[in-house]
A and B are shown apart, each in its own frame.
Chain A
Amino acid sequence: MSGLIKSSIARKVVMALSGLFLVIFLVLHVTINLASVISPDFFNEASHFMGYNPIVQFLMQPILIAGVIIHFVMGFVLEIQNKKARSVSYVKFKGSANAPWVSRNMIYSGLVVLAFLGLHFYDFWVHEMAYKYVEVLPEDPTRYYAETVEKFAPFWRTIIYVVAFVLLALHLWHGFASSFQTMGVNNKYSKGIKAFTKLFAVVVPLAFAFIAIYHHLNPITH
């Protein structure tokens, strides 16, 4: 088992499993976000539940943060090893001849998503922590919808979010199906997995982008 921890395949499996875990989280996230467009009341209810339920707060949230950290730290570790594996570069290297752009640039799409996560955490998570634990303000199950819509009032923030979702789409386009290959799944279901990956990589980021643009264009008028 000690050899397993150091092995390239095991590290790739860690990357694949943490990635798939984050994919599942994205589904939950986009579902709740869509409620903000369809039913503000339900969105408030769901957000309040997520914000105050002890299992979500003290078990699921730390697991999620760990998942994010494991995924990007391992990504960096693998990238450094990969760079070391070719210490002298080619004068001419035609990567586009044999592999798609998305698969060759996961580190860059990942870095953009990671940078976005910094802003996203600042926008929502830091705000929540301050509300609950620093300012210790009373519970208000009706505040979430207005807070969210207000966040998308500035044009620059909406644009940054949309750009990040485009890069998320590119990251998912390769990463989702790739994680199955890493875990040893390459069989009659692979075609279906690849097709589903493309659908998922377009639909989920598109839904996120739609929500951001929708709230930007539909501010709450007092």
Chain B
Amino acid sequence: MKLYLKIWRQKDANSKGAMVDYTLNGVESDMSFLEMLDILNEELISKGEEPVEFDHDCREGICGTCSLMINGRPHGPDSRITVCQLHMRSFNDGDEIVIEPWRATAFPVIKDLIVDRTAFDRIQQAGGYISVNTSGRPVDANAIPIEKDMADKSFNAATCIGCGACVAACKNASAMLFTSAKVSQFALLPQGQVEAAERVQNMVRQMDLEGFGNCTNTGACEVECPKGISLENIARMNREYLSASVKG
């Protein structure tokens, strides 16, 4: 198939970027989206041009590295997948495909389609951990009985791969879904209770400091999340935050 690509090109963080048009022939429908970009880059390199920089790593939907806004949607038109799991069969011959980086002030563009997502790391470092010993001395984590429902909810929250699609999809560039998933995975387990109040306050404070927007409950994040993280987590974080703040 033949594709008309419009791709954001930006030399570095300090340069002004622009959309550049490329026409790509010979794309097969069973190629993944990233393979399609690989072919484009091979063509560009053979012509002596600078290849398009984009983030990718595992290419099996678990690392959260790939991050492209494709035709106005994070990770493209299909649901519950990352860009690396998106295949060209989701497109037609002659399609125009607009490819942009995540847009958020807290995620500045480093080059082309690559953004700096260390804001997420800093939120995680602010409290997304437990410091109780669960190594078997004195109590093995698996020896603590946990209600199935709670364990499932915690696990679902923990499936967040931190890709940033929630921020990219949100009209306010809010990081509430990411932060709430990281708060919830601990808030639902007994091991997470020790630092629960401090955790939610510190992580929300860091999230605000990074310059993410405010949640207006549009639900776009939940729809675009490749792991289907639920808005329930945001409500839980709000509850945890308010009760922690009121208690001081």
Contacts and interface: CB of A to CB of B under 8 A. Distances in A.
Partners in one complex: yes
Interface of A: 1, 3-4, 6-13, 78, 81-82, 84-95, 97-100, 103-104, 106, 174, 178, 181-186
Closest 6 pairs between A and B when the two form their complex, measured CB to CB = A94-B72, A184-B239, A85-B213, A186-B235, A82-B172, A98-B223
Among A82, A97, A98, find the residue whose CB has the most chain B CB atoms closer than 10 A.
Answer: A98
B235 A181 contact: yes
A82 B232 contact: no
Contacts of A4: 245
A144 to B, nearest CB: 39
Contact of B241 (A9, A93, A178): A9
A92 B214 contact: no
Nearest to A102: B218
A91 B98 contact: yes
B219 interface: yes
A8 B216 CA distance: 11
B248 interface: yes
A97 B171 contact: no
A97 B72 contact: yes
Contacts of B103: 86, 88-90
A103 B169 CA distance: 14
30 contacts: A3-B201, A4-B245, A8-B174, A8-B207, A9-B204, A9-B242, A10-B242, A13-B242, A81-B213, A82-B174, A82-B216, A84-B211, A85-B106, A85-B173, A85-B174, A85-B211, A86-B104, A86-B213, A90-B103, A92-B100, A94-B72, A95-B171, A97-B73, A98-B224, A99-B219, A103-B216, A181-B231, A183-B238, A186-B234, A186-B235
B8 interface: yes
**Secondary structure dominating the interface of B:** mixed
Interface residues of B, number: 49
A82 B214 contact: yes
Contacts of A100: 218
Contacts of B72: 90, 92-95, 97
B22 to A, nearest CB: 15
B171 A82 contact: yes
A6 B171 CA distance: 21
B217 interface: yes
B238 A90 contact: no
Nearest to B77: A97
Contact of B214 (A81, A90, A103, A183): A81
